[in-house]
Amino acid sequence: MFLSREQTRELDRRAIEEFGVPSLVLMENAGRGAAELLLSLGVHGPVAICCGKGNNGGDGLVIARHLDNHGVGVNVHLFAQPKELSPDAAIHWRIVTRSSISARVWTNGTIDETELARELALSEWVVDALFGTGLTGPVRPPFDRVIAAINASPARVLAVDIPSGLDCDTGEPMGPTIRAAHTATFLAAKKGYDNPASRSWLGKIHVIDIGAPSRFLKELKPS
């Protein structure tokens, strides 16, 4: 099964509104599942986790906490002001900062691609938690520089749900795009993954269960 962008949003909405699964629980399950995937791939650290301001960034913050709990060295890079975070991501940001996990805030005026690339080069893995499936247009500055730095890193890259810059529905890059070694996607593979050209950006795809009721998937009409 392949989910479109709209179907993915609808499944999240139904899980929250019809079944009463809190959005924080879905985020926790997504991040924990992605962290467990990394551990199964033999991660030792350090891991650089690059987070945007939305719920994809919140997934990344959950990943950071669970890796830290397993003794893996983690460095969080937040590319937003904490006050800009989505409500659920803001909760996980507070948990991360109170857990003494290494975290750095990069704002538009402070992103130096060379400096960021130097920091990422020290990592075994980089986690791309910048945008997720909701991105509908080309990545704008300064995130083009962030993506360039991640792609230039010798570290292996795990994309959270979808490589940033890749269109969820077409599987085509919309501009600067993360080239991942692995993609941890949630609920089901996305519609664009059926495009053979997407594989050079996605790497190996892993579907992560986040606890949404399984009957929702069965009720979906093909996209």
CA gap 28, 16 in Å, rounded: 14
Structure token pair of residue 36: 């467990």
Structure token pair of residue 116: 């960021």
CA gap 156, 142 in Å, rounded: 22
Higher-pLDDT residue of 109, 31: 31
Torsion sign over Cα 75, 122, 41, 187:
positive
Peptide bond into 141 cis (omega under 30): no
Domain ranges in the chain? Answer: 2-213
Q: What is the pLDDT of residue 222?
A: 52
CATH number assigned to the domain covering 2-213: 3.40.50.10260
* Amino acid of residue 133: T
Check whether 111 has a pLDDT greater than 90.
no
Q: What is the pLDDT of residue 221?
A: 57
At 118-160, the pLDDT tens digits run 999 999 999 999 999 989 999 998 899 999 999 999 999 999 9
Average pLDDT, the chain: 93
Please name which of 130, 133, 53 lies closest in space to residue 90, comparing C-alpha atoms. 53
Residue with tokens 């899980």: 15
pLDDT band, very low/low/confident/very high, at 25 (cuts 50, 70, 90)? very high
Check whether 26 has a pLDDT greater than 80.
yes
Q: Average the pLDDT over each of 68-72, 100-104, 112-116, 183-187 and give the range with the smallest value.
A: 112-116
Q: What percentage of the chain has pLDDT greater than the value 90? A: 81
CA gap 28, 22 in Å, rounded: 10
* Amino acid of residue 69: N
Q: What is the pTM of this model?
A: 0.95
Q: What is the pLDDT of residue 134?
A: 85
CA gap 81, 84 in Å, rounded: 5
Check whether 102 has a pLDDT greater than 90.
yes
CA gap 155, 206 in Å, rounded: 19
At 176-223, the pLDDT tens digits run 999 999 999 998 999 999 999 999 999 999 999 998 877 766 776 554
